[in-house]
Amino acid sequence: MIYGYAGKVLRVDLTSGRVSTEPLDESMAREWLGGRGFVAKKLWDEVTAGTEPFSPENKLIMAAGPLTGTLLPSSGKLHSGCLSPASGGYGDSNMGGHFAAELKYAGYDMIIIEGRAGLPSILVIDDDKVEIRGAGDIWGKGCIASEVELKRKLGDDFQIAVVGPAAERLVRFACISHDFGRQSGRAGVGAVMGYKNLKAIAVRGSKAIPLKDPALALKKGEELFEAVFAKPGYKEWTPYGTAGVTDWVNEVGAFPTRNFKSGYFNGYKGIDGQALRDRIRITDKGCFCCPIPCGKYSTGVVGGKRFFVEGPEYETIAMIGGDLMLPTIEEVAYANSVCDDLGLDSISAGSVAAFAIECYENGIISKEDIGRHVQFGDVDSAVYLFEQMAYRRGIGDLLAEGVKRAADRLGRGAERFAIHVKGLEVTGYEPRNAAAMLLSYMTADIGAHHNRSWAITYDIAKGRLSTEGKAEWVIQLQHTRPLFDTLGICRLPWVEIGFETKWYEEIFPVITGLDYSWEQLLNISERIWNLTRCISIRHIPGFGRKDDMPPVRFVEEPIPDGPTAGGHLTMEDAQKLLDDYYRLRGWDSNGHPTREKLQQLGLDFVKI
């Protein structure tokens, strides 16, 4: 027996209404660990070539990991994945809060959601009792109101994942929301849940997670918490959370501003971590078992309206604050609250709104198309555009497709303003003076996302425009960071306060009974990385090198102002970075894993 797992997989076919459980296969646990590994393996095994993201045959898979719900810092991550409506290929997104731990306490490591319900539905999991019920009048409601209503009906101790109006209308960057402010934001996982007519999943569990050695797990867990308490970042980083990095990103000229036209926002002090803490924060809000709560629950008044919102965290500050040039933290937080209730990924929503405004400024979209004048720096413009896209009203119907598809349809040079890779909008780091960060966005498996490799500090340490050694570093990060998503825990203690990986290596066998070294765990992470690549190759016609290309703005337009004014990497640099990257990965020049590489990683079953 392998410990650390709840031991069961829950399979829900929404078309037939059939619910079943399967024992978790032991080899699955050994070879794919959990979380992202389970998502990737199941998508490979069960979703065949030719499947469209919006089809009953696409599956939404939610998985915890072997460490989820156990006593170690920040052990509350859920990984959700499917074929992405943004890219058409592999898509996943992780979410904090308390859902993942509760899922395991209910007895499940993974939920596989298949088919499509005939009517709007919810899934209620109460230990062994699992039911599909009608969504009733919560269909159509915002994420916040829906969660309030479900907690009222089912009980406050249910953990709830819900989608909003954006997902109901298949907005390609709709998210899954949980716990009044946590999201699986990226890759359109919420849109797939909405397509399936699944408004919410509620879970409550009363069971124990079996541990290899519970007494030692307590002792070791305590040791890990002591180690966190001893880190200076525990007290220095936590008061600001991810928002604390805002000043630094501006000081190094990498803050997305005005649809990534610039890397420096003059008014950044108005929207930084200090402003958040001083002006709007009510309480810290932590995910399960987290000693460094990054959630900063906030309130304020904008335009006479009182808002409550978790955050804004850094990505929202960057993509709604900087990229839309909103001058105050109150306005960023208010716009954030609108996105959260509509169920829009605040990263993509910010980027799409910025794209729309720049298209408008350049005469590609008219005032009549939009229905009003819109401009950067104006919270009403931002909120108006968010609502248009979420409800697919007017131009919103086009914007709901994301910047890539919108630009393709608009033509007339709109592509230059569409800041994405693989159809997924770029996140909060302006990379045209940061080679490793640029390569990170180019090669992230779900499309442009910082979570797989956050390499900008390396660029600054090693020379920003230099391409030397960058591919190697990015690959290392692409194995390390997603490993946290595989184990079902949060990477932030490691990223933000320097909590050493040796601690995870030490506690892993105490929980699971498996004696894996960190190196071995990284090898599994590499196996998963190659499989997610193959999933995109299988599902996206002609997928390869061309899909790893950066937005043209990043390799053709110099930054106009701020610390990085004048500079940028070139397309030649981008090609060189890719050459290095493919060679070091054991992929061919079109970015396909070679047969030898697949064999070496135990991926013999993969035929592409």
Partner 1 sequence: MELQVRAELCSGCRVCQLVCALRNMNECNPKKSTLKPIGHFPEPGRYEVKVCNQCGACAEVCPVGAIHNEDGVYIIHEDECIGCMQCVDACPYGVMFTHPDRQAPFKCVACGECVRYCPTGALVDATGQVKGGSAR
Binding site for partner 1 (CB under 8 A): 69-71, 98, 101, 105, 144, 148, 156, 179-181, 205-211, 214-215, 217-218, 221-222, 225-226, 228-230, 234-235, 282-293, 295, 297-299, 308
Helix/strand/coil for 311: coil
Q: Which is nearer to partner 1, 98 or 592 (CB)?
A: 98
Task: Determine phi and psi for 259, rounding to 5 degrees.
Answer: 55, 45
Smallest distance from partner 1 to CB 226, Å:
7
Inter-residue contact 190 to 156 (CB < 8 Å)? no
Smallest distance from partner 1 to CB 376, Å:
29
Smallest distance from partner 1 to CB 24, Å:
17
Q: Which is nearer to partner 1, 228 or 418 (CB)?
A: 228
Smallest distance from partner 1 to CB 23, Å:
20
Question: b/e per residue, 456-478, with b = 16+ CB within 10 A?
Answer: bebbbeeebeebeebbebbbebb
Smallest distance from partner 1 to CB 438, Å:
36
- The strands making up 78-83's β-sheet, listed across from edge to edge, are 18-23, 8-13, 110-114, 60-63, 78-83, 90-95
Q: How far apart are CA 495 and CA 481, in angstroms?
A: 9
Q: Which is nearer to partner 1, 188 or 221 (CB)?
A: 221
Task: Determine phi and psi for 205, rounding to 5 degrees.
Answer: -135, 145
Inter-residue contact 349 to 339 (CB < 8 Å)? yes
> Element (H or E) spanning 161, and its range?
strand 159-162
Q: Which is nearer to partner 1, 146 or 530 (CB)?
A: 146
Q: Which is nearer to partner 1, 75 or 564 (CB)?
A: 75
Q: Which is nearer to partner 1, 284 or 397 (CB)?
A: 284
Smallest distance from partner 1 to CB 130, Å:
17
User: What is the sign, positive or negative, of the torsion defined by CA atoms of 289, 291, 292, 295?
Assistant: positive
Q: Which is nearer to partner 1, 56 or 214 (CB)?
A: 214
Inter-residue contact 97 to 159 (CB < 8 Å)? yes
Q: How far apart are CA 314 and CA 244, in angstroms?
A: 8
What is the three-state SS of 82-135? Answer: EECCCCCCEEEEEECCCHHHHHHHCCCCEEEEECCCCCCEEEEEECCEEEEEEC
Q: Which is nearer to partner 1, 98 or 199 (CB)?
A: 98
Inter-residue contact 594 to 587 (CB < 8 Å)? yes
Q: Which is nearer to partner 1, 299 or 575 (CB)?
A: 299
Smallest distance from partner 1 to CB 138, Å:
15
For residue 448, which amino acid is it?
A: A
Smallest distance from partner 1 to CB 354, Å:
27
Smallest distance from partner 1 to CB 144, Å:
5
Question: b/e per residue, 148-185, with b = 16+ CB within 10 A?
Answer: ebbbeebeeebbbbbbbbbbbbbbbbbbbbbbbbbbbb
Question: b/e per residue, 413-438, with b = 16+ CB within 10 A?
Answer: ebbbbbbbbbbbbbbbbbbbbbbbbb
Q: Which is nearer to partner 1, 225 or 391 (CB)?
A: 225
Structure-block tokens of residue 519: 């190196």
Kindly give the pairing relationship between strand 176-178 and strand 182-184.
antiparallel
Angle at 438 between CA 437 and CA 442, to 5 degrees: 115
What one-character-per-residue DSSP string does 49-79 give?
TT--SSSTTS-EEEE--TTTTSSSTT---EE
Q: Which is nearer to partner 1, 58 or 75 (CB)?
A: 75
How many CA atoms are closer than 13 Å to the CA of 176, on its beta-carbon side? 33
Smallest distance from partner 1 to CB 286, Å:
4
Q: Which is nearer to partner 1, 220 or 533 (CB)?
A: 220
Q: Which is nearer to partner 1, 113 or 289 (CB)?
A: 289
Smallest distance from partner 1 to CB 196, Å:
26
Q: Which is nearer to partner 1, 156 or 519 (CB)?
A: 156
Smallest distance from partner 1 to CB 523, Å:
27
Smallest distance from partner 1 to CB 175, Å:
17
Q: Which is nearer to partner 1, 1 or 230 (CB)?
A: 230
Smallest distance from partner 1 to CB 595, Å:
42
User: What is the sign, positive or negative, of the torsion defined by CA atoms of 311, 315, 321, 324?
Assistant: negative
Task: Determine phi and psi for 177, rounding to 5 degrees.
Answer: -115, 155
Q: How far apart are CA 128 and CA 108, in angstroms?
A: 9
Q: How far apart are CA 588 and CA 597, in angstroms?
A: 10
Smallest distance from partner 1 to CB 573, Å:
43
Nearest Cα residue to 325 out of 364, 372, 374: 374
